[in-house]
Chain A
Amino acid sequence: MVIELVLMAIKTNKAIKISQKHLLGIQDLSINDVNMILDEAHDFIKVNQSKNKKIDALRGKTQINLFFEPSTRTQSSFELAGKRLGADVMSMNISNSAIKKGETLIDTAMTLNAMHPDIIVIRHQDSGACNLLSQKVNCAVLNAGDGRREHPTQALLDALTIINRKKKIEGLRIAICGDILHSRVARSNIYLLNMLGAEVNIIAPTNLMPKEIEKFGVNTFTDMKKGLKDCDIVMMLRLQNERMTSSYLSSNREYYEYYGLTPDKLEHAKADALIMHPGPMNRGIEIDTNLADDINKSVIKEQVELGVAVRMACLKIFCT
């Protein structure tokens, strides 16, 4: 039986088991891990479109969602993914929890750990919070965003969306534009897209560009038109409005003028270029509202749809 499995793995060139216990970031994954998750997620797309969306892959398993930061799509996406797989899902409401009474992350983790969950999904405002948590609990930890470090499931769902439309990632030129400095989505996407063989262009004003980002193996641009030249994919990031007060930028309207995605700037990309955005969007600040809704160019809604499939795949793989 085991030998058969190994033979099958060799034949199909697939890993049989994920190399990591936790999903903390794309940085820790091998290409085999990534392919395994994307293949699994691909199968779940159909499940999610069918009439009966429930399977029992995780029946009897307990999933805890621990969101220290507000979130709509990621939290609901993880909750739905867990439920569709048949897991018992508990979402902690941080505003009513002991955290507010001064409990540390580790103590909260130990408390939850004592309830024997099989998987904890965590989002936290501090970079590295999921790493700390993973050292203290027995179950698998899935990172749903930590500070500005990583947001692995977002990058995976972006990759799945691109593959779904373009049938490949290798050789594509992909622009990531906006507040790169504070973006975990950008970091995870840079690692993943590089790993899968894309050419990555980073577009941002210098104030929003992380130091030495070019060492990640990307091209950097402060001129959006140059950065968009011949791109197959344009990934826009949310401008975090609180940045305005700390003088990263002068104003929303100037930002839109230089870094907002408008039809005339988009012309520099390939004619069949697709627009992506991890949401939530600021219409009229980083993206023209008509472009965001253009069904021929924008795949923003598809990203959300495939997000559930990717999270189902991650839950299933890391939970079992």
Chain B
Amino acid sequence: MKKQYFINANIIDPHNSINETGGLIISEEGKIEAVGKKVNTNNLPSREKPIDLKGKYIFPGLVDMRVFVGEPGYEYKENFKTLSNAALAGGVTSVVTMPNTNPIIDNVSIVDFLKRRGRDKSRINIFPCASLTKNIEGNNMTEFGLLQGKGIIAFTDGIKTIQNPRLMSRIMNSAKDIGCLIMQHAEDYELAKNGMINSGIIASKLGLSGIPEIAERILIERDLTLLEKVKCRYHISQLSSQKSIEVIKHRKEIVKFTSGVSINNLSLNENDIGDFRTFLKLSPPLRREEDRIALVEGLKDGLIDVIVSDHKPEDEESKRLTFSQAATGASGIETLLSLSLELYHNGSLKLETLIKALTSNPAKILRIDKGNLSIGNDADFCIVDIGKPWIVKKEKLISKSKNTSIEDKKLQGKVTNTFVKGKELFKL
């Protein structure tokens, strides 16, 4: 590989506290050789012709902590190849995949298969999760130690929640012994039973059963109480309400844990569901505008650590149904960064806060050396034209499934190039 030189870029790398205008050099091995303001035309070898980025931004490749891939079992929704192409178009170079496949990722032999498929078909870094319980049934825990030994990055039941408090406490004990990360989708099943959207006036109006915010809060309270006794690595996958933020604010003083939020909950509210738009049937559900604002504030205050796409590809047939029959989830990995930038453009959040929640924070929680531009590290990064306007059209999405929650939305900012290990794998 030839050495590559980029100059005149706005570089943001929260991990190394870089936020400056400068350049980037990729070594012949595809590693970061130099980065920052010291890389400019004055100190480059004269025979080299650098690429002038003319003020575009360079961010470390995004690390998306919550991604569903249909492989194995639902390849018609998304496979590793289509997922990685979609991710690259969105500047995402590392993903944590959920274990909700068919079969469920809950044993060592399936992990071997997954690793091979990921290696052969994927063009980005895949970090697979295994389930917390066998067949995500919430009864018996999986072999955390053996699975971690095979390269499992974290444990979660994905779309399911550990309801049984005794089991949860035992899971925490094991996680502490082994030192692995566990991630909980916080929702009390009884309180959320039959629910489809946020409980409140919209649910009453549409005649749909609601999911009250308390279903989330009560589970977070329970887990964080258990955590007081057992100090394991615990992460709440997605928060959705103002009340949950209040709880974690208070609990942060007592115990150590991390939390995430879906870009959907940061950008949309329950009113967007309109006339039964099934693409906005999400879990956790979209809530009130007050909740959305509280989530943005939570990110600003550092109470929430990461933003995830909660990328959940669903085919047309699973969505062209009545609201109660339709599948839950939206495709979102391609639009994760652009939609996040909306929060920067409208003055809600600093660019650095956003990029931190999309790169260095998830990497830190996962304990992986990704999401940064450290010298000697793999050159995983994206180049972004931060002001470029575009409109989301589902037929133009690269992902195999087109169930975007933001069809026809006008966005500002688009990834123009994405590099993995120094290779340009996406170009607009």
Supplied contacts A132-B321, A211-B201, 4 more A-B pairs, CB within 8 Å: A104-B317, A128-B208, A131-B275, A184-B207
> Which residue of A has the minimal Cβ distance to B201?
A212
Q: A126-B322, A127-B323 are in contact. Are A150 and B207 (CB under 8 A)?
A: yes
Asked if A127 and B207 sit within 8 Å, CB to CB, the answer is yes
Would you call B206 an interface residue if the criterion is a C-beta within 8 Å of the partner chain's C-beta atoms?
A: yes
If the complex has contacts A126-B323, A126-B325, are A149 and B207 also in contact, measured as CB distance less than 8 A? Answer: yes
Verify A215–B322 contact, CB threshold 8 A: no
Q: Contact size class for B?
A: 10 to 19
The residue among B317, B322, B323 with the most chain A CB atoms within 10 A of its own CB is B322
C-alpha spacing A128/B325, complex, angstroms: 11
The yes or no answer to B203 lying at the interface (CB within 8 A) is yes
Q: Are A213 and B204 in contact (CB under 8 A)?
A: yes
Residue of B nearest to A182 (CB): B207
Contact assessment for B325 and A211 in the assembled complex, using a CB-CB cutoff below 8 Å? no
Are A212 and B276 closer than 8 Å at their CB atoms? no
Q: B200 contacts A211, CB within 8 Å?
A: yes
B119 interface residue, CB < 8 Å from A? no
Residues from 154 to 203 in B contacting A, C-beta threshold 8 Å: 199-201, 203
Interface residues of B in 198-252 (CB under 8 A from A): 199-201, 203-208, 210
On whether A128 and B204 interact (CB within 8 A), knowing A105-B321, A106-B320, the answer reads no
Given A211-B201, A212-B200, A212-B201; A129-B207 close (CB under 8 Å):
no
Q: Mark A236-256, 1 if CB is under 8 A from B, else 0.
A: 000000000000000000000
Q: How far is the CA of A203 from the CA of B206 in the complex (A)?
A: 20
A211 to B324: give the CA distance in the assembly, Å: 18
Name the prevailing secondary structure of the A interface residues.
mixed
CA distance A132 to B320 in the complex (A): 8
List chain A residues, Cβ under 8 A from B324. Answer: 126-127, 147
| Consensus secondary structure, chain B interface | loop
Could you tell me if A215 and B208 are in contact, using CB atoms closer than 8 angstroms? no
**Chain B residues near A148 (CB, 8 Å)?**
207-208
Closest to A107 in B: B320
Name 13 A/B residue pairs within 8 A (Cβ), A-sorted: A104-B317, A104-B321, A126-B324, A128-B207, A128-B323, A129-B322, A131-B276, A148-B207, A149-B206, A211-B200, A211-B201, A211-B203, A213-B204
Residues 60-73 of chain A: 1 if any B CB is under 8 Å from the residue's CB, otherwise 0?
Answer: 00000000000000
State the Cβ distance, B281 to closest chain A Cβ, in Å.
11
Q: Which A residue's beta carbon lies closest to that of B199?
A: A211
A128 and B206 contacting across the interface, CB-CB below 8 Å? yes
Contacts of B323 in A (CB 8 A): 126-128
Tell me, yes or no, whether A210 is within 8 Å of chain B by CB: yes
Chain A contacts of B210 at CB under 8 A?
211
User: Given the complex, which residues of A lie within 8 Å of B203, measured CB to CB?
Assistant: 210-211
CB distance from B234 to the nearest CB of A (A): 31
